[in-house]
Amino acid sequence: MHLRAKIAAIFNRKEKPIRGIATEINTPKSTVHYHKQQTDKRIDDIGTDFWETDLGYQFIIRLVVAAIFVFCIKSGNGAGRLSEFFRLLQLDNYLPASESVILKIIKQIEALILGYRNASEREIRSKVKQIELILGVDETWFDKMYLVCQELSSGYIFFETESDQKDATTWNEHIKKTLHITSNSSNQVFC
């Protein structure tokens, strides 16, 4: 039995004596006593026992993933800011609120997102034989020159990249790299 399951078992049997709980979940009496004291302290500090239940635990998991996705991945806030957010909500007793742990979770979520993207692309490519694209290319200048390539019928921007040259060879290299076209491929690129 994992630690989380043991703590939940202690909480769910809080009316039983410590010795009975220890025997029932095959855990030392001192461990049961410690976790029961910690649970009671958390409940006293927060004022609710919701977070000790399985429903509360599932909600915390959803909260952590949603907060990381919205605040860190989409909005660009750091793990320190999210750690501060969890501490202000007094949830640091129930979830990993340190910056290093939040960073690890961010990396895992990013890897899952990229894995989903790659799986979706593989599925789409397996179903599509050939796509005809109508590409429009142009240069624009801000502080430097940028090459912009857009699919004209959908408006999808394939790339915006800084460049010193705007000749056909440079354009074809960027387009082939973006579209993953090899030089021996039968795909043709016309700009």
Model pLDDT for residues 108-147, shown as the tens digit of each residue? 999 999 999 889 888 888 887 776 777 777 877 777 888 8
User: Phi/psi at 7 (nearest 5 deg)?
Assistant: -65, -40
- To the nearest 10 degrees (0 to 180), the angle between helices 54-67 and 99-127 is 80
Q: How confident is the model over 98-107, as a mean pLDDT?
A: 90
> What is the four-CA torsion angle of 10, 12, 18, 23, rounded to 10 degrees?
-70
| DSSP 8-state code for residue 92 | T
pLDDT reported for residue 58: 86
Count of CA atoms in the C-beta half-sphere (13 A) of 189: 24
pLDDT reported for residue 111: 93
For residue 140, which of 117, 125, 154, 159 has the smallest C-alpha distance? 159
Q: How confident is the model over 73-78, as a mean pLDDT?
A: 89
In the chain, % helix, strand, coil (3-state, to 5) comes to 60, 10, 30
More confident residue, 103 or 135: 103
Distance, C-alpha 141 to centroid of its chain: 35
Which residue bears the tokens 């354009």? 171
Q: Confidence band (pLDDT; 50, 70, 90) for 70?
A: very high
For residue 150, which of 140, 142, 165 has the smallest C-alpha distance? 140
What is the per-residue pLDDT across 6-33, written as a single tens digit (0 to 9) for each? 666 666 666 778 777 777 777 788 887 8
Distance CA 38, CA 164 (A): 63
Average pLDDT, the chain: 79
With a threshold of 0.85, does the pTM exceed it?
no
pLDDT reported for residue 4: 60
pLDDT reported for residue 183: 44
